[in-house]
Amino acid sequence: MIKLFKIASTYPKYADGFFNSHQQLRHATYQQALQAYFEDCFAWADFWKINLEATNQFQVCEVVFNNEFLQKKWAIENNFKFDDWMPQILFAQLNQFKPDVIFIQDIYHYAHWYVDIKKRYPFIKLVMAWDGILWHKTQTYADVDVVLSCVQQSVDFYKQHNKTAYYFVSGFETTIAGKLQQHKNCNVSFSGSLVLAKGYHLGRLKFLAALSRKIPMDIYASNFEAHNWLSKSWLSRIKHLKFQEAIDVYQITKQNKGALFALQMYLKLYNSKIVINTHGDNAANVAANMRLTETTGVGACLVTDWKPNLHNFFEPDKEVITYKTVDEAAEKITYLLQHETERISIAQAGKQRTWHNYTMKIKLQHLVPQILQHL
C-alpha cells in the first residue's frame, strides 16, 4: 500500500466563513471538522483521497496547511507545541503519517520549506508539486521530482529544464451531483476570481464589464477590490489615465453579488441556464481552467472564450459554446436564451462528455501509473 500525503491550501476568506457558519465544529474532533470541510467540496477537497484509495493501491492523508482552525485543532489533539504554526504543524503531520509520496498543491511561495526534504525525511521516495499558473520558476521546483500542470506549455517548460513533468487536467468529481438541488432561477452567471493585477484578470475585468452592459447577468466575483472613490488603487488608475479600467471596476462593483465558493458555487452553476467562462491573463492562449469541467459536469450550458486547443476537450458549439469577442458572446447568449431546446441539448452533450472523459476518477486513474514508475 502506497502512502500519499497531499498538501493543499485554501482561501482564508472561504475557510473563515465556513467555520464561522458551522460553530458546532468547534466542539468536533479534528477528523470530524476536516471531513465536514471536505464535504463542502472546495477546490479539490478530498477528491484525491476518494479516488486513489478506491484503486486499493493507496492510503491518502490530506491536510490543508494554511487552515488555522483545522491545523491548530490537530496540534491540540496531538499535544504538539509550536512557535510558527503553519510549517511546524504541517511537518509534524507529515512525520506522523510517514508517506512514500507527497504532493504539494501550493508550493509557489513555500518552496523554501521543502529544501532537502527527502534527506530530512528519508521515508519519502517521491516529491510531486503543482504548477497551474505558468509559474515557470525552476528554483521553486528544485527539490521536486515531478511537476504536474494543466498547461502543456508548462509541462514542456519543465522538461526543457531537465525536470520530469506530466500533463494533468483537473476533472469533475461526480459525487458533487448528489448534493445539488434544482431551482434554475438564473439565466446567465459568472463565478470566479477577479484579481486586478498584471498577469491575473485585467482582461477578464474588461470582458465582464463590457458583457454586463449588453446582457443581464449575475456576477459573483471573489478576490475583487471593489470601487472606492478614495482608495489608493482607484486614485492610481485615474493618475495613470486608466479611465476605462476605472469605469470597468465601477461597473463590476455595481453588479457583483459577492464571492461564491465550494458547494454554493456549484449550486449557482447548476441553477444557471448559461455559465460564462473567461480564462485569466496568464492562460497562454490555451483552455485549461477548472470551470470547463465544473460547469459542464453539473449540466449547465458553458459559454467560454475560444482557445486553439479547446476542440481537444469539447466539440465547439455542440458541447460548449465559444466566443472570440464580447459582441459574439452577447449574440450567442441571447440566441440560447431564446432557444431553450437547443441550449439544453448543448448542456447535456457537454455533461455527457465530461462524465465520460473528464471525471476525477478517470484523471487520477491515469496518474497512478506515472506515480508507480517513480517508486
Stretch (H or E) spanning 165:
strand 164-167
Closest CA to 38 of 17, 10, 71, 12: 10
Query: Cβ–Cβ contacts within 10 Å for residue 323, how many?
Result: 21
The Cα–Cα gap between 291 and 293 comes to: 6
The Cα–Cα gap between 92 and 63 comes to: 11
Q: Measure Cα distances from 23 to 2, 16, 33, 215, 264 in Å.
A: 36, 11, 10, 39, 18
For helices 68-77 and 12-20, what crossing angle results, to 10°? Answer: 70
Stretch (H or E) spanning 243:
helix 243-255
What pLDDT is attached to residue 237? Answer: 66
Residue 207, all three cell numbers: 470582458
Q: What is the largest CA-CA distance in the chain?
A: 62
Q: Measure Cα distances from 133 to 137, 190, 225, 271, 353 in Å.
A: 11, 20, 21, 29, 25
DSSP string, 278-289: ---TTSTTS---
User: Which mean pLDDT values do the consecutive 10-residue runs of the chain (375 residues) have?
Assistant: 97 93 96 98 96 97 98 98 98 98 98 98 98 94 97 95 95 96 88 86 94 96 74 68 82 93 96 95 79 96 95 96 98 98 98 98 96 96
* pTM of the predicted model as reported, rounded to 2 decimal places: 0.93
CB 76 within 8 A of CB 68: no
What pLDDT is attached to residue 240? Answer: 65
Stretch (H or E) spanning 86:
helix 85-97
What pLDDT is attached to residue 287? Answer: 80
CB 106 within 8 A of CB 9: yes
What pLDDT is attached to residue 245? Answer: 84
Domains for the chain: give ranges and CATH numbers.
2-171+359-372 (3.40.50.2300), 174-357 (3.40.50.2000)
DSSP count for the chain of H helices, then E strands = 15, 11
Give the chain's radius of gyration (CA, Å): 21
What pLDDT is attached to residue 322? Answer: 97
- Looking at residue 193, what DSSP letter applies? E
